[in-house]
Amino acid sequence: MDIRKSALLAILLAATAGSASAAPSEAARREIGALIGALDGSSCRFQRNGSWHDAAEARAHLQRKYDYLLKKDKVDTAEQFIERAASQSSISGKAYRIACPGQPEQTAAAWFGARLQALRQPR
- Beta-strand runs (E) in the chain: 45-48, 51-53, 97-99, 106-107
Tens of pLDDT along 61-96? Answer: 999 999 999 999 999 999 999 999 999 999 999 999
* pLDDT for 8: 40
Of the two residues 112 and 18, the one the predictor is more confident about is: 112
CA distance 57 to 92: 19
Tens of pLDDT along 14-63? Answer: 444 444 556 899 999 999 999 999 999 999 999 999 999 999 999 999 99
Q: What is the pTM of this model?
A: 0.80
Give the amino acid at 117.
Q
Q: Mean pLDDT of all residues in the chain?
A: 88
* pLDDT for 123: 80
